[in-house]
Structure 1
């Protein structure tokens, strides 16, 4: 199961991880109940009641580093207070910090890495009695037994992904289909179909970006579903659910260019995808025109920085010129590039950060043909190369699992290499260039804040953020006294 923080439903991505796990358990002959809900008190109470009633073989949670950790911890603790059912955690965060996850006291087993084969073998071992000697034969586990922590051998990567498929029949797929209003809402969208679906066709990435989890979790490997399998699944989405556009969620869809193009030409609906700036620059206008003809309407580009020195520090293996070239090629072909930027890299100077802001302004000047997102503030992910650099420069990582949920959700961690004036820069730029406020019942407040944000952005003045704290105080106050709808109408 997967518990989310309390966010609007349209911002919650499909839980591909647990959908694949359900497929593996089903193939192994086990009955499965899948839960993907906001981690509210009501949901957790119902979950505990269901555990007491059905007494399952195991309870599995998938979680990322960030705010979803908090409801997952709460649910795990409440389950362990009333039941001896083994609680198993998997996903990116437990994979990167399995021992610390077990130290929370409410997690019995961590599944490290890809979970399909691990969860099926673990369920079989638990059905046979769950002895320590049996669990030790299941690769990919870290677990507590007899007062100590046991780590089994690493789980090899799954090579044939086609043997598993997302088990959509356990969830209402319509919850994850949305219109263009909810896709990049505030930066605009070119995917105007009534129903837009996300698909995942591959795992991993062969590149070496120093801030990315892929080096640690996927070890720069790339594995993919066959083109035939992907196109079969897309036909099902179109015929069964009326899907008219697709978001390809892969980290590196065109790692195998020929496979990517084969899929692209067979989709038959508009789509958006992530592509590296260096690949667009290298493959040139003929490639960009080809994907445009195949229906590509938006390309997401991890530009990250306007400073070549920082791009090299990130080990991005792209240049600032690649970014400009990629944008130009996309605009000329009628594809809208959506670029993401970040600041606060350990070792980044104020001059480097200003280069990033200047490049963002340069691209923003191209108008609606380009979407410029960020700059987000760099967060050191455990297991990455920049995490080690951040620690060496004074970053103090959380010492317990709960703190990863608090600090990565709304409250930024203490990163001594980020000037304090830049802590809320993403908020100011997002508000300054926000394109939709018409749905607010009181747009006057948003308009005033937007003008202040634009002034701050133009002058590069981000100190004394009273205009950041005041509306958030009002927002939390209104929600605290039960006026949730008014808080949304006032400011969100």
Structure 2
């Protein structure tokens, strides 16, 4: 251990797609009082320039990305490494690194962050300052001499109030982490746990005061299911939801606005009731809700572990429209085992919902790492289904990037074949 702490520069490959998570990590460092220089690189060239420009003893380069971006980010990492002469310790974090640490390390990163990153980043910067072995840092994967991903002890899952969503920056406030609905296509419950952890109303209000202090007036939230706030189980606790929304409104100036149940969060269809909609109308500014239907086939919904059938979807759209909200309803096409008849049922439901006033947000199934369907074969989407999706889009009743997602799905399937689940070797240390 050095007599004087080594200077550490944290360089972030700062991308719009992952700013929310990066802000949480940087807030954790600030909250813990960890001294560090901070530089944000918005391009590969700028990131490399920051690595070269700092005079710090140690340079830690943070990367975060989703699974569909892994291939492109690996190519960018190679470019940054070449431009910076190989300087810096590069770590990848997020859902993809958590699920596929061996693939991430093989792609060129020095470290993979496993699970929630706040405790890990604080411990990692401190270890670099004190020149301590990285195997003492929780929540990492490091290559051993044989090239195998060596895992350190797990990082703790702390109460959400332990760290802020952001500090000195802005963004949606994370009010819930984890999800008790273990849909087989979704990474969230398998990274953050199958239970809800809610941020307290007091903590949310403190975040709102920070935003207002910087002159901002709009408040949005990150949560896997908005109306689950404050509830430990499947049924909404509307009293807790109202306590949250009323508290936020009290912190806002008269012209302040609250957005709840719209991007970047959603509402489960069975939670859309007249009582819930009347509550939202009293507090929120958004005129739309994102509702997760995912399929028009009861059989596919059951196979995916979604936890509801199609009946509450129709009810949710009707109730939302009656209360002045335009529903944006998510559908996923090509889920494993989906037949042409299942797709026809989804198209029929999508058309019916559009007639009721909804917009359809179309997606293609992607075999995402870390999910039970990571190795599942996407169902074939025939030309007739594609044509109908295009027709809905041309009418203005549908939107989405399902074609691009189909390309991502093909690449993810190839990666899964290269890294079969059973063949992955893992060791634990620390």
Instruction: Output the TM-score relative to the length of structure 2.
Output: 0.77
CA RMSD of aligned residues (A): 2.7
Structure 2 residue 224 is matched with structure 1 residue 251: yes
Structure 2 residue 276 is matched with structure 1 residue 272: no
Indicate if the aligned counterparts of 2:25 and 2:117 stay in contact, CA closer than 8 A.
yes
Q: Secondary structure at the match of 1:82?
A: coil
* Match runs of 1:262-411 below 5 Å: 262-268=243-249, 269-273=257-261, 274-280=266-272, 284-295=273-284, 297-367=287-357, 370-374=358-362, 376-388=363-375, 390=376, 395=377
Indicate if the aligned counterparts of 2:175 and 2:198 stay in contact, CA closer than 8 A.
yes
Query: More deviation in 335-344 or 121-130?
Result: 121-130
Structure 1: runs of 5 or more not aligned: 5-11, 38-42, 174-196, 396-414, 437-449, 451-464, 466-492
Indicate if the aligned counterparts of 1:28 and 1:120 stay in contact, CA closer than 8 A.
no
Moved over 6 A (4+): none
How far has the Cα of 1:308 moved from its partner? 0.7
- 1 CA distance for matches of 2:26 and 2:34? 11
Of 378, 394, 411, the residue aligned with 1:432 is 394
Instruction: Output the TM-score relative to the length of structure 1.
Output: 0.68
1:191 maps to none
Higher relative contact order structure (alpha carbons within 8 Å, sequence separation ≥ 6): 2
How far has the Cα of 1:138 moved from its partner? 1.9
Structure 2 residue 90 is matched with structure 1 residue 128: no
Structure 2: runs of 5 or more not aligned: 1-11, 232-236, 250-256, 404-430
* Match runs of 1:210-249 below 5 Å: 210-244=184-218, 246-249=219-222
Q: Secondary structure at the match of 1:79?
A: helix
- 1 CA distance for matches of 2:312 and 2:346? 14
1:51 maps to 51
Query: More deviation in 46-55 or 75-84?
Result: 75-84
1:30 maps to 35
How far has the Cα of 1:319 moved from its partner? 1.6
Indicate if the aligned counterparts of 2:296 and 2:342 stay in contact, CA closer than 8 A.
yes
How far has the Cα of 1:422 moved from its partner? 6.3
Q: Secondary structure at the match of 1:341?
A: strand
* Match runs of 1:120-269 below 5 Å: 120-130=122-132, 134-149=133-148, 150-159=150-159, 161-169=160-168, 173=170, 198-244=172-218, 246-255=219-228, 256=231, 257=237, 258-268=239-249, 269=257
How far has the Cα of 1:67 moved from its partner? 3.0
Q: Secondary structure at the match of 1:302?
A: strand
Q: May I ask how many residue pairs the two structures share in their alignment? A: 364
- 1 CA distance for matches of 2:368 and 2:135? 29
Indicate if the aligned counterparts of 1:306 and 1:352 stay in contact, CA closer than 8 A.
yes
How far has the Cα of 1:46 moved from its partner? 2.3
- 1 CA distance for matches of 2:205 and 2:392? 36
Closer, same or farther: CA 3–338 of 1 in aligned 2, 3 Å: same
How far has the Cα of 1:232 moved from its partner? 2.6
- 1 CA distance for matches of 2:167 and 2:388? 35
Indicate if the aligned counterparts of 2:347 and 2:388 stay in contact, CA closer than 8 A.
no
Q: Secondary structure at the match of 2:369?
A: coil
- 2 CA distance for matches of 1:68 and 1:383? 14
Deviations 1:61-110 (A, max 9, x none): 11111236514542355326613421111111111100111011x21111
How far has the Cα of 1:206 moved from its partner? 1.1
- 1 CA distance for matches of 2:387 and 2:222? 26
How far has the Cα of 1:2 moved from its partner? 3.9
1:82 maps to 85
Closer, same or farther: CA 46–239 of 1 in aligned 2, 3 Å: closer
- 1 CA distance for matches of 2:392 and 2:39? 35
1:398 maps to none
Closer, same or farther: CA 286–317 of 1 in aligned 2, 3 Å: same
Indicate if the aligned counterparts of 2:34 and 2:126 stay in contact, CA closer than 8 A.
no
Closer, same or farther: CA 240–126 of 1 in aligned 2, 3 Å: closer
How far has the Cα of 1:426 moved from its partner? 8.8
Indicate if the aligned counterparts of 2:51 and 2:87 stay in contact, CA closer than 8 A.
no
